[in-house]
Amino acid sequence: MQLNKLEQLKALFADMDRALIAYSGGIDSTLVAKIAYDVLGDRALAVTAVSPSLLPEDLEDAGIQAAEIGIAHELVNTHELENPNYAANPVNRCYFCKSELHDTLKPLALQRGYPYVVDGVNADDLSDYRPGIQAAKERGARSPLAEVGISKAEVRELAKYLKLSCWDKPAQPCLSSRFPYGEEITIAKLQRVGRAEVYLRKLGLKTLRVRSEGDTARIELSPEQIKEFVLTTDLPAVVSAFQSFGFVYVTLDLEGFRSGKLNQVLPLAAASKNS
């Protein structure tokens, strides 16, 4: 247990005095919100951005978790889909998403007297392709977990130690991450992906993604869930449900879920471009 890092986080927030947390309800930003509230009390504010790329169920969870912590929680609307640079879904799509987020949060923080906007970026995130991190830095946001060097595994350890109910919650990035780069993102596409993932969650599946590729839904499950899913699930019912959501074809990824899988095409694309 990295309790020394927990103390470093507490000291970091004590130095801030007041902080606004970019709070998605994921395990990372929930841990940040918890520690910020423990140190700052009512001088900490959690703000969740609401847009079509956030599942209503995840928004509800965020509210429940904020209430458990005790931190003040507010919602703001963001409009990243109105930006054609975002909707076109280029490889740096997340840059435009985080630009919209922090262009919304920074003025709010200044208006309310919060000198700092902080997010839930952890140390492991720095080793992946995350163009949104650059957008946040350009707007002065801070990332306490990354600053202290806390990994994803340590986030879960600390969350469990602090008795956060979501300590083992699977990662749930925004729904726009379900589309291959270059495929346009629309509200209708986001909604059908969201409905499909909620359907699978209600079957008792936890670690999953529904990747949308044109008219095809590609289901990713953790490798240990695949065999049981095939043997015990009413597959025709799954297909029928997905088709009612708007998909034509439904497939199962035999490799299984792997975080960052969307980015595996980037080296291939770079090699093709340079050849």
Whole-number pLDDT of residue 182: 96
Whole-number pLDDT of residue 265: 58
Decide: 208 and 221 in contact? Cβ < 8 Å.
yes
Pick from 133, 158, 131: which is nearest to 146 by CA? 133
pTM: 0.90
What's the CA gap between 213 and 218, in Å, rounded?
8
What's the CA gap between 218 and 227, in Å, rounded?
16
* Residue 6 structure tokens: 């927990």
Whole-number pLDDT of residue 206: 87
Block residue for tokens 């700092």: 116
Tell me which DSSP letter residue 169 carries.
Answer: P
pLDDT tens digits for the chain (275 residues)? 568 999 999 999 999 999 999 999 999 999 999 999 999 999 999 999 999 999 999 999 999 999 999 999 999 999 999 999 999 999 999 999 999 999 999 999 999 999 999 999 999 999 888 999 999 999 999 999 999 999 999 999 999 999 999 998 888 889 999 999 999 999 999 999 999 999 999 999 989 999 999 999 999 999 999 999 999 999 999 999 999 999 999 999 999 998 766 666 555 444 444 44
Whole-number pLDDT of residue 47: 98
Decide: 39 and 13 in contact? Cβ < 8 Å.
yes
Pick from 176, 179, 181: which is nearest to 269 by CA? 181
Whole-number pLDDT of residue 271: 41
- Domains observed in the chain: 3-161 (3.40.50.620), 175-264 (3.30.70)
Q: Please report the beta strands in the chain, taking only residues with DSSP state E, as ranges in sequence order.
A: 19-22, 44-50, 72-77, 116-118, 208-213, 216-221, 249-252
